[in-house]
Amino acid sequence: MNAMVAMRQYQNVSTQAQAVDASPHRLIQMLFEGGLTRLAQARGAMERNQTELKGELIGKAIGIVGGLRDGLDLQQGGELAANLDSLYQYMVARLLEANVKNELAPLDEVSGLLRDVKSGWDAIGQ
C-alpha cells in the first residue's frame, strides 16, 4: 500500500494531526474507520430524508474507498490486490446505487464488506 496515497485521502476525511505520526498500516486503518463512519452518517441522513447531506457523505465514502483502491500495489500484490481492487470497484458501484435509488441496503452491504476487510487488515498488525 502506498502510504502517501492513503495519507492524502485521509486528509480529506479528517484529523490530520493523528495521521502525521501514523504508520502506513495505521493510515489504512484510519481510512477504514473513516469510511465506516461516513457510511453510518449517510445512513442516518438517508433515514432523515436529508438528501444533500446523504449525497455528500456517500461521496466522501466513495472517495475513501477510492483511496484504499489507489493504495493497492497491483504489480506486487498479486491475486489478493486484484481481488481487493475488484471488491473496491464493486463497493463504489453499490454506493452510487444507494445514492441514486435512495436505498439503505447497498449502504449496509458496503459497511459489512468494509468491516470484513478492516478486520483482516487489523489482524495483520497483530
Cβ burial of 106 (10 Å; 0-12, 13-18, 19+) is buried
Residue carrying C-alpha cell 493510515: 27
pTM for the whole structure? 0.83
Q: Which domain holds residue 64?
A: 3-124
Confidence category of residue 119, pLDDT binned at 50, 70, 90: very high
Percent of the chain with pLDDT over 70: 83
The predicted-structure confidence for 39-60, as pLDDT tens digits, reads as follows 999 999 999 999 999 999 999 9
Asked if 91 and 110 count as a contact pair (C-beta separation under 8 A), the reply is: yes
Number of domains the chain is built from: 1
* CATH number of residue 27's parent domain: 1.20.120.340
Q: What is the largest CA-CA distance in the chain?
A: 44
